[in-house]
Each structure stands twice: as C-alpha cells, then as structure tokens.
Amino acid sequence: MFTPKIPVNVQPTGETIPLTGTVVEHHDPAATAIHYVSPPPAPAAPARPTVQLTPGALLLAVGGGTAAVLVVGAVLVSMLLAVAITAGSLAIVALVTRSILTQERKR
C-alpha cells in the first residue's frame, strides 16, 4: 500500500515502455544530502530620522487636504447636478412628445 507506483513512461516517439520488474534500490540519504549554505545576511538599512512637522507645515498640510476635499466635492456635486438637469430635460421632452402623439390620435 505504501510502495510507490511508477507510471508508464510515454516516449515522444509514441513508444510506450512499461517499467515492470524494476527494483527500487534503497540508498543512504546522508550520502546524497545537499548541504545548503545560506548567504550572509544583508546589512541593516540605516535608521532614517523621524519627520518633524513644524506648526506652520502642519497647518499647510491640513489646509491642503481640506482644499483637496472641497475641490473633489465640488466636482462630484457638479456632475450630479449635470445628471439631474439631463434627466429633467429628458422627462420634459418625453411629456411633450407624449402630448403631441395623443393630440394626433384625437384628430
């Protein structure tokens, strides 16, 4: 049950060579062991100084972030307004078209 099953070897030429009667020889794993030598460790990166924010730089960062949020918000609101105006215009065109078609049927 625990013996390895060796599959049939199919050659590129189309010949099938069954591996019958093959005896698996036991060998000493210590004799064929591959000894891996690890490379020396990479040198440690130099410690970078921490970022020191002055009160003026902190105020500038907060102001820049606020301005970016306001600009993105204004762009999104204007896009939403453009979609709403387009939808309203399309609704008015649909109502006018429907009224014209119903008046034509009544005549």
Provide DSSP, 21-79.
Answer: SPPPPP--TTTSPPPPPPPPPPPPPPPPPPP---HHHHHHHHHHHHHHHHHHHHHHHHH
Per the prediction, the chain carries an average pLDDT of 81
Domain range list for the chain: 71-107
pLDDT of 7 > 70? The answer is no
**pLDDT band at residue 58 using 50, 70 and 90 as cut-offs:** very high
pLDDT of 104 > 90? The answer is no
What local confidence, expressed as pLDDT, does residue 61 receive?
93
